Chain A
Amino acid sequence: MRAFLAVARREIVEKRFVLAAAAVASLIPLAVPILRRLSEGPAKEARGLAAVVVALLIAAGLAVSLGASLFAADFANRKIGFYFSRPISAFSLWSGKIVGAIALVLLSTFVVFLPTLLADRDLEPLRKASGGPAGAVALLTGSLLLLLALANAGAIIVRSWSALALADLALVTAIGTLFVLTLNRLVAHSADPPFVESRVLAGAGVTLLIALLAASYLAVSLGRTDLRAAHRALSAAAWGILGTAAIAFALHAQWALSAPPQALARLSHARPIGPDGWVHVEGIARGTSAEFLFDVRTGEFRRTRASRWMVAGSGDGRVAAWLDSEKGYGGPWRVRTLNLRDPGVSPRETKIVVPHASSILLSGDGARLGTIAGGTLSVFDLSSGRSLLSARIPVPDPDPHWAAAVFAGPSVVRVFRGRVVESHTKSLDIYDLDLVGKKWTRTAAALDLGRVWTTMSGDRLIGVSEKGGRVTLHDGRSGAVLSTLYAGAPLFPIIPRFLTDGRIAMALGNESGNWLEVFSEMGTGGRRIQIGPGSLHVGGEVAPGRLALARGPARTLEIVDIDHGTSKNVAEGLVPLEDFGWIVSLAGPGREAAKLFLDGEGRLVRYDPATGQRRILLGRPSRD
């Protein structure tokens, strides 16, 4: 410890002149607002920004210059023998010099900030940094240490100037290439590329720092007064650690990317793709986010790179289509399809590549695909990959809006456009796009609807008024009110379902409890069935006229017999896989999709109310 302190102190005293340079540089931020003649508010902002810029430049420059002169020069002119002929351990020498140098860099950075801090009693950019001032200081220290270690290693290699430097060059190229290729591969297969990229880069930074620090220590410890020996130790340690890490990273990526859906620890999302048992599942498998199309009947699966919003199934359950990212994230996106009826077939890569998309839609027969991106609807023929049409969705007013669409027929796309005011949908317009005539027709305008649900073909529409006190059934094309399903005090929740026989079931609730209202196809003859209290999740028809729903914190699964008006608790802790968004297209009675649930631990469960059989399909039990 005595030796460490002596060396660190000497390092600081020897190079204390950098503090004077930093003190001079600290005046620059104070001068910036004066030179630009800024008023008090902008002046403070400019000072803060200038202080951060100047401090970072000074810190980076110092880290590089101090790192380059840390050991290399002493090795080269054998001045390092001064330390090694005294009772100073290699560790004390190494750590003392490193700590002394980084302390000087940090002190200089603080000196640059100091006048601005005194002037403004605040340093906004630092305060606003992600992770707060402590996080910013930790990140800065780590980054500067990395720069210092890099400069030190580089200087030793250059000063040694041996043939080993060529090996260094070859190894850094090989390891760097392996790392970048692996990272690209991992990012390209990830559902959350920015997260993966930032996590991997942070890990790489830490690994690089550890490798360089370990290598520089071994260079001092094993090289001592011999520069060539120091270079050999440095190279062996650095490339040994980094090479091992890069290979381990590549092997990890290979292992992670070959994970089957069975490796999903907890599903973050699951959605039926068609009625027959194919589901799209998302979760974390082997430490990376993973998405699969998974057939619950056979266990077959295909890995995708599509987020949950970019997968669609055709109404006939024959085709799934999705958008796979081509380069990780930010597009472009390649459309791939899978014949769900032919399990052995691999996904087909279409010629369709779109720069971006906010949603996709698939025709009932799976022959055509539509994408909506930036207010433009594009339609493609899936088999040929040909673009059939690309048209701007009409915008009759300047308000922001959302748009969603369904295939109303083979040649008609129905677009529902909601006008948004202060984050709330105020009214709804309906447009039909004739793919043959390439013509927009506004079929309904300014419907007073805040939330809507439609059938998969868009022929009927259930809407809730913006205030929530009125629920109406509309003709999906004209928007004409077919019947009023509820009018009165605002209710919560309101969850309608179009049943496969045409009837409508609507789960409603208020502070006194929940109930189910059952209507005819045209919305007449409401009949109330009382159900238990608690939050509701409404699923599909597990059998004709039998609707599954989960309620309450225990997620009690109830099967409601719509024909007899009875309800029965059959299981605990199961939530039906609900169709996403506003299109209600749940599976027909008795089909596989209606028997799929997520349990409280995020596992995909098949439950058959008829037999009471419950089987976990995906996800692992928690360790608790």
Chain B
Amino acid sequence: MISAFAASSPLSSSSRIAAPLLESDAITVRYGRSIACEAVSFSVAPGEVYALLGRNGAGKSSLVRCLLGQQNPSAGRARLFGGDSWTTRVRALERVGVVPEEPDAPPEMTALRLADFCRRLYPRWDGASVTRRLDRFEVPRDVPFGRLSKGQKCQVLLAMALAPSPDLLVLDDPTLGLDVVAREFFWEEFLGDLADRGTTALVTTHDLAAIEGIATRVGVLKMGRLIVDEDVETLKGRFRRIRYANRMTETRTEFGNELDAFDAVRVRVRGWGIDAVVSNWDESVFERFRLMDGVEGAEATALSIEEIFVALAGEADGNGGRT
């Protein structure tokens, strides 16, 4: 049998004992008649790096704004450190570092002025770390923010986000539009902080290759609905690409019901046979599948997060993933 993932029931959720630092409780965001996200529930536990993935317009930024208390959800609740994000935002944000999708610092402020402004707002401001990072990034300190390159802006904002020694980092597609080198710099710095302090993070990004080794948990938003919310390893363990030729059907380009034992997320018919992505991988089931009449040359390969995401989010709703 082939099935799409039910929007309202994410694939699985391993039990996490510690109280979450960030929680989305059935959040719905509407703009007039259009729905940015609907009944989205997930949480980020201490020490986790949660990668919230989704295509453009999937509702990630709206969700992040709700979680940071910047926007009131149409329904549901967002919680930061256990408190309502909308009402207890100020106290909570003293422990949060944020890098937004679009660099939003006032364009006339230099990096130094920006640091001076932020220094007054946080009780645990580490000014030396800002200096170190700006030096490392080679960001000019006396050039207004508006005149920095996109990569430099991003690096400045990361330096500002890490300076208050935050318990939680929220990165909303921070590397969008950056070149490869700038992206590399950014993720390196982020990884360094994770290694040093074990910071919890919520990351939305399209840079799936970079997040592969960083994220401990993944959520996938598709058309406003959270279709996956799972530990990375569990997720990757469940997904496989299966390729085989089918000799039972009248022509080579058709396929029958041999995949019914799997939940096929996406099935493509190629010239050489069938290319399927399944979400309930099981070694013993696969062994039986290989021995089925007409199944020829079947092989299974593990998938990267990017491949899993493409399989999940890349298909239109409602056709069971068949193409």
A residues contacting B by CB (< 8 A) are: 2-3, 5-6, 10, 13-14, 78-79, 81-82, 84-89, 222, 224-226, 228-229
Contact = CB atoms under 8 A, between A and B. Distances in A.
Residue among A5, A10, A87, A225 facing the most chain B CB atoms (10 A cut-off): A87
A87 B70 contact: no
A85 B98 contact: yes
Interface in B114-158: 117-118, 120-122
A86 B121 contact: yes
Contacts of B108: 14
Given A10-B106, A79-B106, A229-B72, A86 B120 contact: no
Given A10-B117, A88-B90, A78 B102 contact: yes
6 pairs of A and B residues whose beta carbons are closest in the complex: A85-B98, A87-B93, A82-B104, A6-B120, A225-B70, A84-B70
Nearest to A162: B32
A3 B89 CA distance: 14
A225 B106 contact: no
B118 A78 contact: no
A173 B10 CA distance: 52
Given A5-B120, A81-B104, A82-B105, A87 B71 contact: no
A84 B72 contact: no
A13 B71 CA distance: 29
A78 B72 contact: no
Is the contact region of chain A dominated by helix, strand, or loop, or is it mixed?
Answer: helix
B68 A84 contact: yes
Contacts, number: 67
Nearest to A88: B121
Given A3-B120, A85-B70, 7 more contacts: A6-B120, A6-B121, A10-B106, A82-B104, A84-B69, A87-B94, A225-B70
21 contacts: A3-B120, A10-B106, A10-B117, A13-B113, A14-B106, A79-B104, A79-B106, A81-B100, A84-B69, A84-B70, A84-B89, A85-B68, A85-B104, A85-B170, A87-B89, A87-B90, A88-B90, A89-B90, A224-B69, A224-B71, A225-B71
Contact of B122 (A78, A85, A87): A87
Contacts of B117: 6, 10
Interface in B87-107: 89-94, 96, 98, 100, 102, 104-106
B65 interface: yes
Is the contact region of chain B dominated by helix, strand, or loop, or is it mixed?
Answer: loop
Interface residues of B, number: 29
A2 B104 contact: no
A6 B106 CA distance: 14
Contacts of B109: 10, 14
Contacts of A13: 113
Interface of B: 31, 65, 68-72, 89-94, 96, 98, 100, 102, 104-106, 108-109, 113, 117-118, 120-122, 170
A13 B68 CA distance: 28
A86 B72 contact: no
Contacts of B118: 86
Contacts of A79: 104, 106
Nearest to B97: A85
Residue among B91, B105, B106 facing the most chain A CB atoms (10 A cut-off): B106
Contacts of B70: 81, 84-85, 224-225
A335 to B, nearest CB: 62
Contacts of B121: 2-3, 6, 86-88
Nearest to A228: B31
Contact of B120 (A2, A78, A82): A2
Contacts of A85: 68, 70, 93, 96, 98, 100, 104, 170
Contacts of A228: 31
Contacts of B69: 84, 224
B104 A226 contact: no
A369 B142 CA distance: 85
A78 B70 CA distance: 11
A444 to B, nearest CB: 85
A85 B109 CA distance: 17
A228 to B, nearest CB: 8
A266 B198 CA distance: 78
Contact of A226 (B71, B94, B96): B71
Contacts of B91: 87
A89 B121 CA distance: 11
A12 to B, nearest CB: 12
Nearest to A17: B108
A222 B106 CA distance: 22
A79 B100 CA distance: 10
Contacts of B98: 85-86
Contacts of B71: 224-226, 229
Contacts of A226: 71
Contacts of A222: 72
Residue among B69, B89, B108, B118 facing the most chain A CB atoms (10 A cut-off): B89
